[in-house]
Amino acid sequence: MAQIVKRAFKYRFYPTPEQAEELARTFGCVRLVYNKALEERTRAYTLQGRRVSYVESSARLTAWKRSGEYDFLFEVSSVPLQQALRHLQAAFANFFAKRAKYPTFKSRKKSRASAEYTRSAFRWREGRLTLAKMEAPLAIAWSRPLPEGVEPSTVTVSKDAAGRWFVSLLVEEKISPLPPAGQSVGVDAGITALAALSTGEKIVNPRHERADRRKLAKAQRALARKAKGSANRAKARARVAKVYARIADRRRDHLHKVTTRLVRENQVIAVEDLTVRTMVKNRSLARAISDASWREMRGMLEYKAAWYGRTLVAVDRWFPSSKLCSACGALRETMPLKVREWMCACGAVHDRDVNAARNVLAAGLAES
């Protein structure tokens, strides 16, 4: 049965100098409002033990605008400023629910520059998007079409550290489940191979960060030689950011292809419930684990399985998938990481990763 899901479509766009100036001013105002509201909430919470509501923060925003000190807030659309307060409200809700840490201030250099526009702050006509306070539509590079008949409900404009401009359009899309698949698969995430499957296949790990490591090191050395605060340092920082952006884009593209294929071909997908945050504390493996991006792959599998009528099962992290013989069920006492192939007493010869994937699949099917 088809379901309606909220889905964001992200595109690059190329602003005119006037649009870039307007957006930069908006980003600065959004950051200012967020930080001032966070400062007041922190003061109330620390000194009075009182929680400040969104309504109270919104009233304070109106007072700041009328105080004469922040007249420039009138120069940008009010909607992104209100959305910044809503995001702060959500951040505090997550903190009080113990789902996240205490909100932190936004930095001009380190925080993501973005602004969110709701339906009242943009015009969408015949596939052309015009934001509030702008006369001309954005020059968007339509790398893929929007679903037919949909209109964006929210637009988020952002600029990354590499200087690239992006617009994200949130739409409601009707997605139909895929036809039932006749097979299931177990997935064992790894470093040498990105994933070993219970079918015996190993999906290669491109190791994008390692491939560009020399280029990244050269750019970082050039950055280190530049004087702090200089224009040359800003240019060098942008070159480093471009290398990082290339690595992230290629990695994300590969993960999308792998996860889409797994979801299309299998009805049940069983994975290990890995604690990546703990695993990256291992200094010897942290860089390789981060480059493999297991957590991002797991997230993609989760939402794609939910969209297309598949079942994703997470097997307990303490399940001894590597030490268990998938043929007879015998459990070995130890299995050092250096052992990549081993023979069970029953005579079965196992590839460590493929055997683990088969055990993960068996455990996942038992749970589901």
Catalytic entry in 22, 116, 209, 353: 353
Active-site residue 75, yes or no? Answer: no
- C-alpha 217/C-alpha 211 separation (Å) is 11
Q: What is the dihedral of CA 64, 69, 74, 75, to 10 degrees?
A: -140
DSSP 119-166: GGGEEEETTEEEETT-SS---EE-SSPPPTT---SEEEEEE-TTS-EE
Active-site residue 188, yes or no? Answer: yes
Both tokens of 234, joined, read 């800003």
> Cα dist. 180→6, 265, 267, 305, 367 in Å?
23, 9, 6, 12, 20
Q: Name the region of 127 (left: φ>0; alpha: ψ -120 to 50; beta: rest).
A: left
Catalytic entry in 22, 188, 209, 291: 188
Catalytic entry in 22, 209, 272, 291: 272
- C-alpha 83/C-alpha 306 separation (Å) is 28
- C-alpha 242/C-alpha 211 separation (Å) is 15
Active-site residue 353, yes or no? Answer: yes
- Catalytic residues, which ones? 188, 272, 353
